[in-house]
Chain A
């Protein structure tokens, strides 16, 4: 995917932008990964931004199985408890598999972070001009208090 001006208001260094931008946030997140963290990108814009943030062997770009980003990330987190795993998911995708949050909550893996982009738009690939983002939900599980 090419990075076009409308994807990055003010250019790639727009970290001071007042309106949050999904690509800028994704790029910042990827830039902070120093320990081989696994990142699972959801179908659509979450994937496009992850790809454009620089490809890493620990990235998985989920295509087709809309809604399964968090279950896949959860599976990786179970298999590799020492590795931190991040799921980047859109709100429309998550709505297709809301039940997975109950399953994740039941296990409360400490090494799983779920990011939900609130774009309020499911028809991601067709949009020519992205909307300003609402704040993403950063959701990291911690062990339940004893």
Chain B
């Protein structure tokens, strides 16, 4: 794993490097996304790596459709979005991804908690886990750097083996989240 700095401090890969490496080692070649500031380092790194096919979508629902088609064509695919974007996809999950047994790998940059100022984000965040639970979808909230690679790696393998989607909620505890002036 690449060192994240040139200092004398012990080299520790950033969360985005771990996600990228884990996607790569699991042969997840397609990554589609709706832009998000917290995910920007990951998105930039994926664009810079020729292993990946990656591009922006206009809506999260559209990205879910593309990931579904890619799996039907034999390609593993992930989608990156923000919490509020997740709130736009329950129909696509319930009517397409879950019944068609698509191992969609959904990464959500979590907003609405741990210092949120925007009431709308805080409210929509509360809807995310109940929706995932009611659909019976495998979901992991990742808060710890040392658990990230294990959770993502094992869960991708499980998603493919069981043909079921998985959602990774990347907590501000892991990514730093979005910081506001108080």
Contacts and interface: CB of A to CB of B under 8 A. Distances in A.
B114 interface: no
Interface string B74-92: 1101000000000000011
Nearest to A72: B69
B95 A75 contact: no
A22 B11 CA distance: 62
B13 interface: no
A78 interface: yes
Interface residues of A, number: 29
Contact of B95 (A60, A63, A78, A83): A63
B117 to A, nearest CB: 28
B55 A100 contact: no
Given A65-B96, A75-B77, A79-B75, A100 B58 contact: yes
Interface string A35-76: 000101000000000000000000010111101111111111
Interface in B38-62: 53, 55-59, 61-62
B66 A71 contact: yes
A121 interface: no
A76 B69 contact: yes
Nearest to A64: B95
Contacts of A71: 57, 61-66, 68-69
B65 A68 contact: yes
A134 interface: no
B67 interface: yes
B55 A103 contact: yes
Contact of B70 (A76, A102, A103): A76
Nearest to A79: B73
Contacts of A80: 73-75
Given A62-B96, A103-B55, A73 B61 contact: no
Interface of A: 38, 40, 60, 62-65, 67-80, 83, 97, 99-100, 102-103, 106-107
Across the A-B interface, give the 7 residue pairs with the lowest CB-CB distance, nearest first. A75-B69, A64-B95, A79-B73, A71-B65, A99-B58, A68-B65, A79-B75
5 contacts: A64-B94, A75-B75, A76-B70, A97-B59, A100-B62
